[in-house]
Amino acid sequence: MTSDSFSRIQISCLEARPQSIRLRQNLFHSLHAALKSSEKTIKSAIAEDTSHDEWETSLEYTLAISELREHYSSLDLEQDLKRQKSVEDLQGTTNVGIVYIIPSKQNQFYSVISALTAALAAGNCVVLELPTTLTQVSAVLRAVLPKALDADIFAIIGDRISKENLSKCHVLDQTGIIPASLRDGGNDSNSVNLHHERVVAVVDRSANIPDAASIICASRAIFNGQSVYSPALVLVNEFVADDFLFHLAQAIISPMHKQKDILSKSSHPSMGGPNGHSQIKTEFESKDNLNVIISGENGSIVEIKDRTQVLVGRQIDSRVISIYRITSLDDAIDLCNGFQTPLEASYVFAAVAETNYLSRFIDARISCINHIPCELMVGPFAPEHPTIAPSPSPRYSPALFRLPRPRFSHASQMSILCLKSAISRSTKVLDPWSRPILQTALPAIKQGDGNSVGFFDQAFIMVGITFASVIAGGAFTLYQLSKRHWLGY
């Protein structure tokens, strides 16, 4: 990107061009038409770069188009005009300006389109950092996107822009590795950072073991185990661990999970390929604290023996599932929360009561009960935000790229009374407002009187009734026997 190109983006941002609903709608129509007309080219490029099969390629493409359509449907011209004309808007927002996207290499097409459409829907200009590489997806994006979008609104660059210009942007880093130039040049408050953390599945003794094994195995098989939301670590209750391992092994060797012989035509073999499989097997077998249960090109199961290795183990980009046996629900919670930072996701397989307990107390940014959303298997981690919850789809909410700008047109009662008090130089004017606040007691707690029977109370009562019944029955029996003995019959 030349300085002139960035200047054009800046001018458009200052003129608030991207905030026009009609312009945004036209941009979405143009982008949608361009992506639909290039569908075969895009799918072919994804398959060439990644060796994903047809189903996985179609999933990535369709999810990207789905998010484009969803972001487009959020554009409401009538509502936007109504809010613009309103003098008071307590929920008013504005765009962040220029969104600078550093895309993830994993599912790059989806990663770019999902972030791009969310930023455009929020009324921003977008700069996409897309280094010149030999990958086909990158080449297709470079060919399709600039033609479909306004050059004053969108631009692609090959190299990182200057620190000065970067500091003027809202940075979305999908890679999770913030470069020094970004930390030094950009404002941290203008950045949306993604941190690669743990994704853990917990299988309790109350779970449907065959279903849990099948779901977890499928999540590791999709995209050759490279999905960031795929659980590489599974905590299994020791009472059902052997049963779970049996069904997991059955799922791995089943035909539906077998790897197709397409890796040979990939110029970028992953750790899940034949060479990667041998490397992983050698690495695991050389460690005493790991037990390789099953190992093959379709997937591997590794059991962790040393508890300390659970917390320091690395996330593996391949079809490897690490298993660790837990003793209880609290043991699982302690392990999950021992990473010091929240999990990116937790998948809990258990009965209703157990899933409620685990999902509440495991510190995870998103928790899924007895399932793993297919949408999460595509693309990068959802960005961290203090108030906007992560979502399987769409991955990015336009609200991430908006700033609150409320407008108040009506003075509060306190403001009116304070003005009168300042003019009259008397505090008595404030009495109608201050007296109820200072003299009225807080509402009652409405707590029960303590006479209700609780869970443990019920247990004690039942034990007491049973014990009393046994004592009474025994005493009556002894009385009858004694009576017969003394009376002689």
- 176-197 pLDDT, tens per residue? 765 544 544 445 555 554 444 5
Which percentage of the chain shows pLDDT scores above 90? 48
Give the residue range(s) of CATH 3.40.309.10 domains in the chain.
199-377
**Residue 317 — very low, low, confident or very high, per pLDDT cuts 50/70/90?**
low
d(CA 418, CA 119): 43
Q: pLDDT at position 274, please?
A: 46
Q: pLDDT at position 308, please?
A: 78
Q: Residue-wise over 187-205: b if at least 16 C-beta within 10 A, else e? A: eeebbbbbeebbbbbbbbb
What separation in angstroms does the CA of 124 have from each of 29, 30, 67, 91, 238? 17, 17, 17, 19, 52
Q: pLDDT at position 268, please?
A: 43
**What tens digit of pLDDT does each residue of 445-471 get?**
887 766 666 666 777 788 888 888 888
**Residue 345 — very low, low, confident or very high, per pLDDT cuts 50/70/90?**
very high
Mean pLDDT of 366-381: 94
Q: Is the pLDDT of residue 98 over 80?
A: yes
Mean pLDDT of the chain: 84
Q: Is the pLDDT of residue 320 over 80?
A: yes
> Is the distance from CB of 158 to CB of 185 less than 8 angstroms?
no
Q: Which helix (H) or strand (E) holds 391?
A: none
Q: For the whole model, what pTM was predicted? A: 0.83
Greater confidence, 110 or 478? Answer: 110
Q: How many CA atoms lie within 13 A of 380 on its CB side?
A: 27
What separation in angstroms does the CA of 205 have from each of 201, 237, 350, 351, 442? 13, 6, 7, 9, 46
**CA pseudo-torsion sign 321, 322, 323, 328:** negative
How many Cβ atoms from other residues are within 10 Å of residue 287's Cβ?
14
**What tens digit of pLDDT does each residue of 465-478 get?**
888 888 888 887 88
Which pairing describes strands 299-304 and 290-296: parallel, antiparallel, or unpaired?
Answer: antiparallel
Read off the tokens for 209: 């073991």
> Is the distance from CB of 140 to CB of 41 less than 8 angstroms?
yes
Give the residue range(s) of CATH 3.40.605.10 domains in the chain.
3-194+396-404
**Residue 25 — very low, low, confident or very high, per pLDDT cuts 50/70/90?**
very high
Q: Is the pLDDT of residue 261 over 50?
A: no
CA 241 to chain centre: 27
Mean pLDDT of 416-429: 82
Q: pLDDT at position 284, please?
A: 59
Q: Which CATH superfamily is domain 199-377 in?
A: Aldehyde Dehydrogenase; Chain A, domain 2 (3.40.309.10)
Mean pLDDT of 435-441: 88
> Residue 128's closest CA among 104, 100, 147?
100
Q: Residue-wise over 450-468: b if at least 16 C-beta within 10 A, else e? A: eeeeeeeeeeeeeeeeeee
> Is the distance from CB of 160 to CB of 129 less than 8 angstroms?
yes
Q: pLDDT at position 271, please?
A: 42
Q: pLDDT at position 197, please?
A: 57
Q: pLDDT at position 1, please?
A: 56
**What tens digit of pLDDT does each residue of 219-242 get?**
988 888 889 999 989 999 999 999
Greater confidence, 265 or 401? Answer: 401
- Beta-ladder partners of 94: 403
Q: Which amino acid is at 367?
A: S
Q: pLDDT at position 354, please?
A: 94
Q: pLDDT at position 90, please?
A: 86
Which percentage of the chain shows pLDDT scores above 70? 84
**Residue 351 — very low, low, confident or very high, per pLDDT cuts 50/70/90?**
very high
Assigned CATH class of 3-194+396-404: alpha beta
